[in-house]
Structures are given as C-alpha cells and as structure tokens.
Amino acid sequence: MTTAFTAAALLTPLERLSDAVMLVEDGKIRALGPRSQISIPAKTRVVDYGKDVIAPGYLDLHIHGAAAHDVMSGTSLGLAAMEQFLASHGVTSYLPTTVSAPMETTLRTLENLAGAIEEAPSPGRARPLGIHLEGPFLSHARRGVHPPQDLVPPSLEAFERLWQAARGHIRLMTIAPELPGAIELIAAATKRGVTCAVGHSDASAEATCAAIAAGARHATHTFNAMRPLDHREPGILGIVLSDERLSADIIADGVHVAPSVVELFLSAKGAQRAVLITDATSATGMGDGRFRLGTFEVEVTGMRCMREGKLAGSVLTLDRAVCNVMSFAGLELEGAVRLATVNAARAVGVAAGELKPGADADFVVLTPAGEVVETICRGQAW
C-alpha cells in the first residue's frame, strides 16, 4: 500500500522543500518533492502533518543505553525497550556503544550486539546499524570513567578477537593515537571499513596527524576526555578543530561543553563535518537515581551523570541536542537537523540520514521549533 505524507516543509536535509509530499511504499521512499510536482495515485492513503516539518530520522553514533537498559547487558528485551525509547525521540538508527570492561565481557556483548544487527528490523523501532567500540584502546591519562584495569594496549591480536566476536559489525572505533601500536591498528582497521575516531586521548598534534595519515577520519566527543588546547602545542584538540579531513562529534547538553564552546566548535568544523551525539546511559529518561554503565554504577542528578566526581556519559536525547544547538549557536532547523542525520551517516559510511527515492522511510516529524511530533521507522509509526 502506498502512503503519501504531506507537510508544510520537508528537509532532505541537504535541501528544503516547501509544501512537500513524500510517497512511501513497503517501507521505502518512492518519490518526494513539492506537491505541484508529485502526483498522488488514486486510493493512496494520505497523512497530512499540516504546518509541521518532515526530516530524516536521527542517527546516534554514541549511545550506551537508555530507559533503564544498558548496551553492555546486550539482552534482546533491553535493546527493544531502548529502541522504542529512541524512536520516541526521533532516532531511527544508532550505533550501540561499548564501554571498557573485562575482555570476556566485551566479547560476549559484541556477540549479542552482532545478533541484534543481523535480525530483521522491527517495525516502529530504531535499529542498530553497527557497533561503536569505545575502549579498550584508550589513554589512561584521559580515560574518563573507563575502568583502568580494563584498558588494553592497541594490537592487531586484540582487535582481531573483538572483530571476530562482532562478526565484522564494528563500524566505529575510538582509539588514543599516541599509544604504542595505535597507528598500525588504525591503518588495519581502516582497511576493514571501520571508521577510526581519535578520542580519550592525551595525544600531541604530531601524533594526531600521524593517526590521520594512517586513516583516522573522526573525533569522539570533542573537548571531553581530550588533551586541552594550548597555543604553543595545540595537541589533539587543535588538530580536531582545524583539520578538514576529520569530522567530529560533540555532546551538546550544556553540561559537557559550555554553550559558547559548542558555538565555537560548530564554527570550526562547519556545516558538513560537525556531528551531534548523546553519549547517553541507561539513566536517560529515568530521572534522578543510580544506574548501570557497563560494569559500574553512575549517579544522576538533573542533567549530570557522575561517577567518582567525573562526568560519566549523559542523559541527553538527540532531539534535545538538535534544539540545543539552535539555541546555543542560532542555527536554523535545517542546519541543526543535518548534524544529527546526514553528517553522522557520512562520518561512518552508512546508508541513513537522508530522504531520497529508494531510501528507507525513516523520518521524524518536527514542529518548526524542532520538537518531535511523530517518528516513522521504515514506514511505520513508533
């Protein structure tokens, strides 16, 4: 059955179409454009969103959990609850993200996540497109809350164990480039199609440039767990902000990074290379209290998720991040949406984040102010 979705505007998001219509059949986009150019077949079901805006469904590259469920548990029921929660906030796809843990625990988690990725997508839920391996190849100096005993020196042997457990579904890997063996691992992982992201790092500018030369193309939660900028030795942060070969993501909750610095980041990386993430934990959507993050607990008060005096992930949702950058940096809706859709998809090389004929009908309906009205996953409402 064909359904025609109409709205005051549609963001592809590379283009804004006014008075738009999008034809969807069997979960795929068949056509889209201004109503004056798209013929709606007879007996087509029409869903009119009035003054609202249709945009691509959001893609979260960095999420540890939500709705009281932690990715490291890897249970099908937990992931299903998390995926329903994500869809309610405009997210139609995501990369479940690990946190450093004992190797055997991580291997079991990767096996479970690989199974979830290989299953047929469930109607009305966000779907995992690959795995983000955050740890164990991180700097002790910039580990954040990753347990120090679970960090592992970069090596092809260690990566091969993780790769085999994930059955090739590792899509993004955060790595500290200054660690011995990191450059060789970045080169090898890049050849397998993994996007290597510099992060949790105390790297110098020279070490960061070496990582880029080896194939690194992204940066993880810019400013956080990262050597601060110095005007004589810019370090990793100076390269992340200035090198056009790197895309970079940021946690725009107003807690991890001040609003004015979010604005600086967006100015530095530009409209094409900036990406919004959440770094959300199982506490997201649950209010204050104590919640799991991998093998340890975090405590949440308001928007702060803490462990032993350090920020430990977030309780941010991606729809709120989009609204925040509109407020922090004065972006228009289409510019903010791009940061959570096509930019994210291009950073990790997945087919998502853009509305065009032949693409999956994964989209979100927004008010002109960016609030979520409805989310459609593969043609079905969440």
Q: Give me the tens of pLDDT residue by residue for the chain, a chain 382 residues long.
A: 899 999 999 999 999 999 999 999 999 999 999 999 999 998 899 999 999 999 999 999 999 999 999 999 978 899 999 999 999 999 999 999 999 999 999 999 999 999 999 998 888 899 999 999 999 999 999 999 999 999 999 999 999 999 999 999 999 999 999 999 999 999 999 999 999 999 999 999 999 999 999 999 999 999 999 999 999 999 999 999 999 999 999 999 999 999 999 999 999 999 999 999 999 999 999 999 999 999 999 999 999 999 999 999 999 999 999 999 999 999 999 999 999 999 999 999 999 999 999 999 999 999 999 999 999 999 888 7
Same domain, 20 and 64: no
Strand partners, 365: 54, 374
Specify whether 279 is catalytic: yes
Per the structure, the complete domain to which residue 48 belongs is given by: 2-54+369-381
Instruction: Clarify whether residues 37 and 66 are in a common domain.
Output: no
Query: DSSP assignment, residue 221?
Result: S
Helical pair 205-214 and 182-191, crossing angle rounded to 10 deg:
30
201 shares a domain with 180: yes
In a domain? residue 334: yes
Q: Residue 145 domain-assigned?
A: yes
Closest CA to 86 of 246, 282, 272: 282
Q: Are residues 50 and 63 in the same domain?
A: no
Residues 83 and 139 in one domain: yes
Angle, CA 119 vertex, CA 56 and CA 105 arms, to 5°: 105
Shared-domain flag, residues 239 and 99: yes
Q: Is residue 166 located within the same domain as residue 253? A: yes
251 vs 241: CA distance, rounded Å: 15
Structural contact between residues 295 and 101, judged by C-beta atoms closer than 8 angstroms: yes
Q: DSSP readout, 119-178?
A: SPPPTTS-EE-SEEEE-SS--STT-TTS-GGG-----HHHHHHHHHHTTT-EEEEEE-TT
Assigned token pair, 323? 């609204």
CB 215 within 8 A of CB 246: no
What's the domain count of the chain? Answer: 2
Judgement on whether residues 226 and 127 belong to the same structural domain of the protein: yes
The answer to whether residues 38 and 117 belong to one domain is: no
- Give the 3-state secondary structure of residue 256: coil
Using a 10 angstrom Cβ sphere, with 0-12 exposed, 13-18 middle and 19 or more buried, the burial of residue 224 is middle
Prediction pTM value: 0.97
Is residue 69, in this structure, part of any structural domain at all? yes
Domain identity same for 375 and 226? no
Catalytic residue among 150, 249, 253, 279, which?
A: 279
* 248 and 373 belong to one structural domain: no
